[in-house]
Amino acid sequence: MVGFGLAYGGAGAVFWTSLARVASSWVISPVLGALVSFLVYKCIRRFVYSARNPGQAAAAAAPIAVFLGVTGISFAAFPLSKSFSIAFAQALGCGAVGAVLVYNLIRKQLGHLLEKSASSHSEPQESNTHTKNLGLLSDVAGPKGTQLEIVYGVFGYMQVLSACFMSFAHGGNDVSNAIGPLAGALSILQGGASSAEIVIPNDVLAWGGFGIVAGLLIWGYRVIATIGKKITELTPTRGFAAEFAAASVVLFASKLALPISATHTLVGAVMGVGFARGLNSVRAETVREIVTSWAVTIPVGASLAVLYTWILTKLLSFIL
List, for residues 2-23, the tens digit of each pLDDT value.
888 888 888 888 888 888 887 8
Average pLDDT over residues 169-181: 75
Return the pLDDT at 279: 82
Q: Flag whether pLDDT at 269 surpasses 90.
A: yes
Return the higher-pLDDT residue of 260 and 159: 159
Average pLDDT over residues 129-137: 52
Average pLDDT over residues 296-300: 89
Q: Flag whether pLDDT at 51 surpasses 90.
A: no
Average pLDDT over residues 239-268: 83
Instruction: Kindly list the domain boundaries of the chain, sorted by start residue.
Output: 1-114+144-192+202-317
Return the pLDDT at 129: 38
Return the pLDDT at 192: 60
- Please report, in angstroms and rounded to a whole number, the separation of the first and last CA atoms in the chain: 25
Contact 163, 250 (CB under 8 A): no
Average pLDDT over residues 275-293: 88
Measured CA distances, 240 to 49, 93, 115, 153, 234 (Å): 15, 23, 24, 12, 9
Q: How many CB atoms lie within 10 A of CB 37?
A: 31
Return the pLDDT at 134: 54
Q: Flag whether pLDDT at 123 surpasses 60.
A: no
The DSSP secondary-structure symbol of 52 reads S
Q: What is the pLDDT of residues 191-223, one digit of tens each?
A: 765 555 667 778 888 888 888 888 888 888 888
Give ∠ CA 233-63-130 in degrees, rounded to 5: 65
With 0-12 / 13-18 / 19 or more C-beta atoms within 10 angstroms meaning exposed / middle / buried, residue 261 is buried
CA nearest neighbour of 14 among 317, 306, 314, 316: 306
Contact 54, 146 (CB under 8 A): no
Q: How many helices (H) and strands (E) does the chain have?
A: 11, 0
